[in-house]
Amino acid sequence: MESLCRWHHVGNQNIIAMKKNLFLLFALLLFGLTATAQSRTLTGTVTDANDGNPLPGVSIIIKGTSKGAATDQYGRYSLSIPDDNATLVFRFLGYMTQEIKVGKREVLDVKMQVDNRQLSEVVVVEQSLPRALAGKVAGVFSGRNRAENMTYAAAPVFDAAPLVHNTENYDFIKENSFLDAQKNPLSTFSIDVDNASYSNVRRFLNQGQRPPADAVRIEEMVNYFNYDYPQPTGDVPFSVTTELSACPWNKQNQLLHIGLQGKRVPTDQLPPSNLVFLIDVSGSMFSPDKLPLVKAGLKLLVEELRPQDQVSMVVYAGAAGLVLPSTSGKEKMKIIAALDQLEAGGSTAGGAGINLAYKVAEENFVKGGNNRVILASDGDFNVGVSSDSEMQRLIEKKRETGVFLTVLGFGTGNLKDSRMEQLANKGNGNYAYIDNIREAQKVFVNEFGGTLFTIAKDVKLQLEFNPAKVKAYRLIGYENRALANEEFNDDKKDAGDMGSGHTVTALYEIVPAGADSETQAGQVDELKYQKTTLDPKAKRTDEMLTMKLRYKEPDGETSRLMTTTVSSRAIPSAQTSDNFRFSAAVAACGMLLRDSEFKGNASFPMVLELAKNARGKDEEGYRIEFVNLVKSMGLLSER
């Protein structure tokens, strides 16, 4: 009997405990349902209030937090809202910021108004960058009735808080100095069509930060923009344009502007492409400005492909693998489906990925076609071949296969800019930094031919200055593209490559012979065993310099030589072209950001004045964007 009572007592305790657990479970379930009811997903579309075009890249932040999202290429967004009291802040360069309380809405569409105050120094407001590019991006899809076939992935939520650890890496730049034209008459360098530095600098400025000095490569900033040079004629793949006038930041000196214009080949006449997408899917690529942006950008490229083009896809994290065998450009949905399946995670075996990508490219090699690996990464390799020197030797070996390389940098906090630039330089390719969907549209749509199709490789310039006309000179930028004088005639020496429709611009600041200039070249002691004498003919000619240019056909091994001369007759500043003034503005801006010792009297107001009066056609709005950025630079310089 006693044991039976004890059994009933224990049973009653178990029942009481069970009731307590059930009550607790019910309370948690009720709390969860309440929390779920409070927290929900909000979607919407952001458009231009005037023309209704979608705005890609709009920043959307939950006020009082660091949580937010960004609109995709269709202007659409998706964001988790904590409760009905949340207020969203919509920001976009050139538009008025809006704050909107969410309330109980599940869909919130926003129309943004152009901020005329931000564009007060721009005469043609209706050509402002966001609207022009937004319309262009929209037209890529809706204009071709392909929008319904595209897989939509909402821009993921991101944390806008600053990174605690920043391991971004940039090569040290020792600026070119002035050289005595009599003792150093030759200046030799490789062309550079990379433009990663400008978009990277823009990223810093949009975050309210001054970029590191070594992130500012002036030649890449200048070459980010297209210039109105004449198309080449005959069999030569590019034209050469020169212009000489007073230097804006030092009126006692002159500025020489050199412009190359690559032959623009119509898309339907371009050779077939054999492309290999080499995509970093390691854990460092998780954030929305990395792998999600890679996928969105490559989808834009896929839309440009033709049936004769083919695409393979290799990914790498802890190991490398082929996720898409060679597929025709007409099978767009298959390629896009493969992109949509990619997720980030794991370590980064960059060397293994590169080896596999080149192997796939060689297996599908198209003779006479465009064979290219497109590497998309933050450059943070940490498994296998990972040192800069090892990676460079690997790429140098791989370029012998005839496969070119395009390098695309993504992300912040751990961007290995120096490594990615060198890989592109060594791999017969180009390097771009993509910070938003509009930049992806520029690289893959607006400049499709220039990005992917090479018309001339190993392009080198050598200028011989006439000491009778030039006292000293300085090449602005191109520090990491300098060549030894004897390398100009060495066809084994690698140099820069030029794509269809590409422009290349180089600037020299020149101290005229006999000018009363404060600029001085470095002093070198007189030679003991030989003397440098001036040919009497040098004084009788009006030639300032002779310019030689070497290049090879895309599949050639022997270079061709072009030679031209430049007159010492300068034109008045008021008669200079938009090309001259705008490139000078960008160069001066770069020197200010670097705090260069050669910046002379340059200032941000001077840069603004030069740039806003040299916009030219600016059909895509890139120059107007620069004008707006200069204002930010001026504010940052006052800190």
Distances (CA, A) of 442 to 134, 189, 391, 502, 572: 11, 27, 28, 13, 34
pLDDT at 638: 54
pLDDT at 634: 66
What is the rounded distance in angstroms from the CA atom of residue 225 to the CA atom of residue 597?
Answer: 25
CB 255, CB 246: distance < 8 Å:
yes
Q: What is the mean pLDDT of each run of 10 residues along the chain (639 residues)?
A: 46 52 50 52 90 78 76 80 90 80 93 64 31 36 29 33 63 95 95 93 86 95 95 92 97 97 90 94 85 91 93 86 94 94 73 88 93 89 60 81 91 86 84 90 85 90 97 96 97 91 96 85 82 85 96 93 96 96 98 95 95 89 90 63
pLDDT at 14: 52
pLDDT at 426: 84
What is the rounded distance in angstroms from the CA atom of residue 498 to the CA atom of residue 44?
Answer: 42
As assigned by CATH, the class of the 40-112 domain is mainly beta
**């083919």: which residue's tokens?**
310
What is the rounded distance in angstroms from the CA atom of residue 105 to the CA atom of residue 444?
Answer: 36
CB 462, CB 484: distance < 8 Å:
no
DSSP 399: G
CB 274, CB 364: distance < 8 Å:
yes
Q: What is the pairing mode between strands 110-112 and 496-499?
A: unpaired
Q: Which residues contact 8 (CB under 8 A, 6 or more apart)?
A: none
CA angle at 196 for the pair 195 and 201, rounded to the nearest 5°:
110
CB 585, CB 573: distance < 8 Å:
no
Q: Please, what sign has the CA dihedral across residues 137, 139, 144, 149? A: positive
Q: What is the pairing mode between strands 470-475 and 179-180?
A: antiparallel
Q: What is the pairing mode between strands 370-377 and 404-409?
A: parallel
CB 587, CB 216: distance < 8 Å:
no
* Closest CA relative to residue 512, chosen from 566, 464, 570: 570
CATH for 179-265+455-518+537-638, options being 3.20.20.140, 3.40.50.720, 3.40.50.10490, 2.60.40.1230: 2.60.40.1230
* Closest CA relative to residue 508, chosen from 218, 297, 94: 218
What is the rounded distance in angstroms from the CA atom of residue 375 to the CA atom of residue 278?
Answer: 5
CA angle at 183 for the pair 178 and 186, rounded to the nearest 5°:
75
What is the rounded distance in angstroms from the CA atom of residue 548 to the CA atom of residue 542?
Answer: 18
DSSP 443: I
DSSP 269-280: GSPPEEEEEEEE
DSSP 570: P
40-112 against 179-265+455-518+537-638: fold identical: yes
Which amino acid is present at 510?
I
Q: Which residues contact 106 (CB under 8 A, 6 or more apart)?
A: 40, 41, 42, 43
pLDDT at 54: 82
Beta bridge partners of 187: 463
Distances (CA, A) of 521 to 174, 183, 253, 517: 16, 10, 13, 11
Query: Where along the chain do its domains lie?
Result: 40-112, 179-265+455-518+537-638, 271-450
Superfamily of domain covering 271-450:
von Willebrand factor, type A domain (3.40.50.410)
pLDDT at 141: 30
pLDDT at 145: 31
Beta bridge partners of 327: 311
Q: Which residues contact 211 (CB under 8 A, 6 or more apart)?
A: 200, 201, 204, 205, 593
For residues 429-455, one letter each, b for 16 or more C-beta atoms within 10 angstroms of the residue's C-beta and e for the rest, the string is: bbbbbbbbbbbbbbbbbbbbbbbbbbb
